[in-house]
A and B are shown apart, each in its own frame.
Chain A
Amino acid sequence: MSVLPFPSFLDDVKEKGLKRAVFEVVDESVERLTAGMNIQDIREALRGEAPSRKPNPRLQPHADGFWLHMRPSYFHSDMTGLYPTFRLGWLSTYFVFFETITGILLMVWYTPSPEIAYSNMINMLTNVPLGQLMRDLHRLGAEAMVLIVALHMVRTWVTGSYKRPRQFTWFTGLILLVITGFLSFTGYLLPWDQLALWAVTIGASMIEATPPPVVGENLNLLIRGGPEIGANGLLRFYLLHVLALPALLFVFTGVHYYKVIVHGHSLPPQKENIGEDTAKRVPLDKRVYFIPDVLTSELLWVAVTTLILVVLCIWFYDAPLEHHADPQVTPLGTTAPWYFLWIQGALKLGDKVFWGLIFPGALLGVMAVWPYIDVTASRRFAHRRFALTLILLLISFVTILSYMGLPEFGVVTAADTAIIHEMTYPPAHNHMGKLLPVPYDQLVPGMYTTSEFSDEEITLADFNQEIETIMAPVALGSRVQSIEANLLDELQNQDYLVVTNLNFAPVPGDAPELRAAMEEFAAMVASHDKELVNAWGGVIITQNQADLKRIDVILSWDTVEVENGRPMLDADGNPVLVRDAEGNVVRSQNIQHIFVHQDGGYFSN
């Protein structure tokens, strides 16, 4: 008889003994938690044995549990291999969770304000154990997710899985692709470095093209929070990134998954008769039950994929972080994130409204309704030559457009600017100016010139003599004085370099890397002989502080007439020189300086 007015655990202990009573409580709890499987059921499942009781307890969690009601209780055995899914849909979902978890960890260390966002990044990298790894994982995961989701879409197209009855599944998938792109894009801005600011500025500028102008301007203001991306814009992008877009993503992921339950996985095209959809009619001998086979397989892939990502991020990948965002300084060769490069490339084809908005909009529109246009019954490859050709053309087209989006294509940069940039630019996209990786010790203070490496036989003594004696103005109407005096004027008065004369010397023998950089400099100057006539480059290295060197890079050349960014040529194919009223050739010069600290880490990187 119970000591309490109702049956209790103590009664059980009295009746069955402690061990037995505890086991029963645990067993019952497990069954409640799994919505149907007790310890014995789980043990059998994991041993690969058949279920020992009926009804099959392994189907119970799908019927009664919340989480597994979104998963089919069995798969067709033709769907469990790599083909036809390549695990792409599953991987996409994996990344949704992976990005959510790493993202929440990063949120702990982040404040969306231009004042401190960048310091947060630095803090995360210098002061938070595993902070860099979390950031790397989140960034790599984001880039991978965009790629995986896009590949998932391509695969669905190729196997014709968007066909009836899965038209709407395709449609939600397309929305998920767009959301993934925007999630990645909004996250791009958050580190608040130069890469972020300018990539997003370019991306967001397309919004401004929306016609009519009043709509475009206001949309632009709405998304950026001002004429330029600043505190408001950062906060908006942050809220989109952590709140609005993830909310939409989860909603549409739910819909997408529910549709898979309703319609089942579409089988490989050749396994079905044309026009049939047998996904929901899986013969008993073809059933692979979710518990235990698919579940263990998925858990295996969670572990393996995470391991791959961790290995990549520990040894092979670091999320980029450039200098603090600076709206005043536009880096040369700014691009949108790679997955939007195709739009940037399309913009180079012409009209901003058409190529920036109508074209991508129409492309997505056609993709969205494609299942309702392509209503042919067959999913067999042989019967879908048009659709397969179309997707290959589309892939090629987007690849070509993406290439066109690169700064290498169709952007005319003055040769002198490009060359000096090539010598000095700060690390970006895992590349840097040629002078930066020269070991600190090899940056021997002195003055060096590309003339040392030119084909013309000229001694440095003669060269030094020449720049002292050749007289030229630096702009029409300016004073005619020696090339050296022109350069000194600019070095002293605009670049504040303490230097009283130019005297170039050979690159020291024990500085092979500096020599290599100078040789590359010389080769670049020589390869632009149409724009940079009688050109030579110089490098002046000075000790600025005990562990800090200053490098001034000089380019001096005879000015030529330029048309549309390209040098004008006369009948003989020679460039036309600019001359002042007295017939003097006008000399141009471009000087930039950078600083390199002993611990700058450019060399070891």
Chain B
Amino acid sequence: MLQGMIFPKIENRILVGVLSFVAIMVLLGWAAINEGGRMAAFEQTFHARSIEQGAALFTSNCSTCHGSDGLGGAKGPALNNPQLFGYDFYPEVTKEIGALMTEKADLQTEASRPATTPERLAEIDARLAEIDARIEELDAPRRQALQAAIDRGYNPQRPSRLQNVGWAGTTESFVLTTLIHGRPVSNNYWSGGGMVAWSQTAGGPLRMDQLEDLTAYVMNWQRDWTLEDLFAVRQFAIEPVDPAPLRAQIEQLQASGGVIPEPVGTAVRDILVQLESVTGDPARGDALYHGTGGARSFNGTTLGCSTCHLAEGVAVGPQTGGTYSRVLNERMNDPALAGYTPEQYLVESIVLPNNYLVPGFQGLMIANFGQNISVQDLADLLAYLKTQQ
């Protein structure tokens, strides 16, 4: 049987061959018809796996600065953040205020023209007053609702990070570009400098496909944002401050004979001497510590110590509750700290945080507080910490 030709009759060979050929064509056609669905399904799966890969990369490379939950931390802003995705919680208000602002600008231009008659000027002034009142009327409830976020640097009038930095592309391309070349910024904004470049092209450690995975992961935080999401953000992006009004304030202060506060610096002994002549206010210290009520240090920095030092429990740094007791009862017994006073210990911990570490913690604290707080700020903080028995 094995020696006979299969399909010994030529007509059978032709028939089976033709049928097989037709079957191949039908199958290819059938497969081609289904390709759309097949490719879409594969794309979905591949995107999901890309997010998984991105999640793993984020955990090992990004979470120390941006937080495991992406809500931001001492060294990096939140990415799990409606602001990054440009979500406006009050689009109607923004729209109306925007229209009013345009009208206001037009009226002001008109008022500045020499041809404008005094009657018209009076009309314009009346309308401008109306506009300001209306803007305040619209903005006040929004401010009130978002106060908790505003306290941490959120600006409800400019809810989109992309708009604030003048980015014309998509959020996705913004994230990817930032990953590729990092974000070199001044130490005055973020301690330890900005974000390093992550792509191999720009001298970083990651390949392009890994950056794409990371981008897919960050973009996967996009959802229907709620106010809870906004309030969960620990750290917003820091926008540079317009120096003009600050300069005006300084000049005003100098003119009235006031003293311009200076940063305390990092010379612990000198600071301790200066502190002797200053009285701390624990309430202001509390506000500075938690960044509440818009409290800022002498140069306008929101300190937000409580981002890492939670009231209870351990996040990045030791908990706030019981700080002073622990300093007195535990830290002062450390032989390495022999001769320290509790005050010296606290001051040094704030201005030179990496000189020593509480066992079990990593040196993640920003080292630029010496530049951002005055003696008064420091005294207030110490007064507050001393209440944490």
**A80 sits at the interface (CB 8 A):** yes
On whether the beta carbons of A297 and B7 are closer than 8 Å, the reply is: yes
Per-position 1/0 for B61-80, Cβ under 8 A of A = 00110001100000000000
**B165 sits at the interface (CB 8 A):** no
Q: How far is the CB of B220 from chain A (nearest CB, A)?
A: 5
Distance of A404 Cα from B28 Cα, bound (Å): 40
Q: How far is the CB of A459 from chain B (nearest CB, A)?
A: 27
Residues A300 and B39 in contact in the complex (CB < 8 Å), given A122-B46, A597-B51: no
Per-position 1/0 for A282-293, Cβ under 8 A of B = 000000100011
**B209 sits at the interface (CB 8 A):** yes
Residues A548 and B55 in contact in the complex (CB < 8 Å), given A132-B42, A296-B10: yes
Q: How far is the CB of B363 from chain A (nearest CB, A)?
A: 12
Contacts of B41 in A (CB 8 A): 601
On whether the beta carbons of A115 and B16 are closer than 8 Å, the reply is: no
Closest to B209 in A: A324
On whether the beta carbons of B24 and A545 are closer than 8 Å, the reply is: no
On whether the beta carbons of A129 and B16 are closer than 8 Å, the reply is: no
Looking at the complex, which one of B2, B14, B44, B217 makes contact with A46 (CB distance below 8 Å)?
Answer: B14
Residues A307 and B20 in contact in the complex (CB < 8 Å), given A119-B209, A323-B53, A548-B51: yes
**B277 sits at the interface (CB 8 A):** no
**A155 sits at the interface (CB 8 A):** no
On whether the beta carbons of B46 and A489 are closer than 8 Å, the reply is: no
On whether the beta carbons of B6 and A82 are closer than 8 Å, the reply is: yes
Q: How far is the CB of B208 from chain A (nearest CB, A)?
A: 7
Looking at the complex, which one of B2, B21, B27, B314 makes contact with A81 (CB distance below 8 Å)?
Answer: B2
Per-position 1/0 for B332-349, Cβ under 8 A of A = 000000000000000000
On whether the beta carbons of B13 and A310 are closer than 8 Å, the reply is: no
On whether the beta carbons of B44 and A599 are closer than 8 Å, the reply is: yes
Among the stretches A202-210, A371-379, A495-503, A555-563, the one at the interface with B is A495-503
Distance of A130 Cα from B23 Cα, bound (Å): 16
Distance of A181 Cα from B45 Cα, bound (Å): 33
Looking at the complex, which one of B9, B68, B210 makes contact with A497 (CB distance below 8 Å)?
Answer: B68
**B186 sits at the interface (CB 8 A):** no
On whether the beta carbons of A599 and B68 are closer than 8 Å, the reply is: no
Contacts of B49 in A (CB 8 A): 323, 597, 600-601
On whether the beta carbons of A126 and B16 are closer than 8 Å, the reply is: no
**A594 sits at the interface (CB 8 A):** yes
Contacts of B105 in A (CB 8 A): none
> Restricting to B195-231, which residues have a CB under 8 Å from any CB of A?
207-210, 217, 220-221, 223
Distance of A597 Cα from B217 Cα, bound (Å): 11
Closest to B10 in A: A48
> Restricting to B304-329, which residues have a CB under 8 Å from any CB of A?
313-315
How many residues in A have their beta carbons less than 8 Å from beta carbons of B?
Answer: 61
Q: How far is the CB of B312 from chain A (nearest CB, A)?
A: 10
Pick the most buried of B21, B52, B210, B360: most chain A CB atoms within 10 A of its CB.
B52
On whether the beta carbons of A293 and B44 are closer than 8 Å, the reply is: no
Contacts of A544 in B (CB 8 A): 55
Looking at the complex, which one of A46, A288, A500, A547 makes contact with B314 (CB distance below 8 Å)?
Answer: A500
Closest to B27 in A: A310
Distance of A593 Cα from B53 Cα, bound (Å): 11
**A304 sits at the interface (CB 8 A):** yes
On whether the beta carbons of B60 and A307 are closer than 8 Å, the reply is: no
On whether the beta carbons of A324 and B207 are closer than 8 Å, the reply is: yes
Residues A599 and B45 in contact in the complex (CB < 8 Å), given A303-B24, A496-B63, A498-B68: yes
Contacts of A310 in B (CB 8 A): 24, 27-28
Closest to A119 in B: B209
**B362 sits at the interface (CB 8 A):** yes
**B188 sits at the interface (CB 8 A):** no
Contacts of B262 in A (CB 8 A): none
Distance of A302 Cα from B59 Cα, bound (Å): 53
**B48 sits at the interface (CB 8 A):** yes
Closest to A125 in B: B42
> Restricting to A511-548, which residues have a CB under 8 Å from any CB of B?
544-548
On whether the beta carbons of B68 and A594 are closer than 8 Å, the reply is: no
Residues A48 and B11 in contact in the complex (CB < 8 Å), given A115-B208, A126-B43, A493-B362: yes
Residues A597 and B7 in contact in the complex (CB < 8 Å), given A300-B13, A545-B221: no
> Restricting to A161-186, which residues have a CB under 8 Å from any CB of B?
none
Question: Chain A: residues with CB nearer than 8 A to chain B?
Answer: 46-48, 78, 80-83, 115, 118-119, 122, 125-127, 129-130, 132-133, 268, 288, 292-293, 296-297, 299-300, 302-304, 306-307, 310-311, 314, 323-324, 326, 489, 492-493, 495-498, 500, 544-548, 550, 593-601
A-B contact pairs, 14 of them (CB 8 A): A81-B2, A129-B32, A132-B42, A296-B13, A297-B6, A297-B13, A300-B7, A300-B20, A303-B20, A303-B24, A304-B16, A306-B20, A595-B51, A598-B48
Question: Chain B: residues with CB nearer than 8 A to chain A?
Answer: 1-7, 9-11, 13-14, 16-18, 20-21, 23-24, 27-28, 31-32, 35, 38-39, 41-49, 51-53, 55-56, 59-60, 63-64, 68-69, 207-210, 217, 220-221, 223, 313-315, 360, 362
Q: A500-B313, A601-B48 are in contact. List 18 more A-B contacts (CB 8 A).
A: A47-B10, A48-B11, A81-B2, A82-B3, A129-B39, A130-B35, A288-B5, A292-B10, A299-B17, A300-B16, A303-B16, A307-B20, A310-B24, A310-B27, A495-B59, A599-B45, A600-B52, A601-B41
Chain A to chain B: the 3 pairs with minimum beta-carbon distance, closest first:
A303-B20, A597-B48, A83-B2
